[in-house]
Amino acid sequence: MSTDETEITEPVDLCLPDGVHLNPAASGWSRTPLHTANLRGRRLRTKKWDYWAVLADDLVVSVTYADVGYLGMADVWWCEPSTGRTGGRPDNRPGARGVSLPDRPGTAPLRARARKSSVDLVDDEDGTTITASWSEKGEPASLVLRVDLPKDHESLNVVIPWDDTTFQYTSKHQARPARGTLTVGGEIRRFGVPAGQEAGGGASWGVLDVGRGRWPYRTRWNWGGGAGLADDGSTVIGLQFGGRWTEGTGATENGVLVDGRLTKIGAELVWEYDWANPLQPWRVRHPDGSLDVTLTPTYDRHSRTNAVVLATEVHQVFGRWTGHVTNDDGRRSTFDGLLGFAEESVSRW
């Protein structure tokens, strides 16, 4: 599962000094975030976001902080897949009023305030702390979340170039240890604590999707990921897959983590699933057989928006992955039951 894509090892600006054209030196991938997204102008075509999720035993929590030109978001969402219970609070802001993201992701706190809600995302060298408060069905709700960044834990960072004025820098983080508390009214859900010490305890994993770039008006993508222990009971596996939107660009956002070390996959992976039946298995495989994994979903987060110039439909399913991956050293890891997700998004934005 090797790649011939260029590996970037030094800090680099995403754009040329005009802030509009792609810097040729920025094309490639890196094991840690090295790009500064010095985007300027073309506001409605510029998209910026930090999307966080936590995968726990029977709980998914996500926080979206985004400026997609037409709209800003500071949303909190949670789900209990086994029962289908969901909650949270959307905070959509026309024109992205009050939403600001730095050129260099992770270098400034992200904060949003509304009349009945607040969201704060604060990074430090050891990880990220996320706090939020809102009202849910007339009851107070809150999230306190810590996602660690272990020493030498790698991520998948890559520029996807459609042309010299349309391109996306994406930084995908998987398998980061997470812990925290979700409180809704009198119900308290703790996650990421040692198994057996609290109800709902066990390993929890943080996911981060950073996006900075300029997109075509019509897009379609796949994204999938997950984390957990291999069958040997000690090796930590992280999965990071993308598809459709990268085709023909010469770059992919595919890779696997084995104990925090990234193996970058240069090939487009094969996705097999049924859009009309999203709770059927989703299979992702490498053409050479070195990677073959299947997600068995238990919950489908289906959303559809149609707001004149902006429209999107997404099936995002959550479940568990089974299969095998192979790292750069040729070591094959098998697993059964990694927490994870997969999605297809169709957008006009």
Task: Give residues with Cβ within 8 angstroms of 138, minimum separation 6.
Answer: none
pLDDT digits (tens, 9 = 90+) for 277-320: 999 999 999 999 999 999 999 999 999 887 667 788 999 999 99
Please give the model's pTM, rounded to 2 decimal places: 0.95
Q: For the chain, which residues make up each domain, given as ranges?
A: 12-348
pLDDT digits (tens, 9 = 90+) for 10-45: 999 999 999 999 999 999 999 999 999 999 988 778
198, burial (CB in 10 Å: exposed 0-12, middle 13-18, buried 19+): middle
pLDDT band at 349 (very low <50, low <70, confident <90, very high): confident
Closest CA to 226 of 150, 86, 322, 139: 322
pLDDT band at 197 (very low <50, low <70, confident <90, very high): very low
| Angstrom distance (rounded) from CA 120 to CA 93 | 16
More confident residue, 104 or 71: 104
pLDDT digits (tens, 9 = 90+) for 106-119: 999 999 999 889 99
pLDDT band at 195 (very low <50, low <70, confident <90, very high): very low
Per DSSP bridges, beta strands 254-258 and 92-94 are unpaired
Q: Does residue 201 have a pLDDT over 50?
A: no
Average pLDDT, the chain: 94
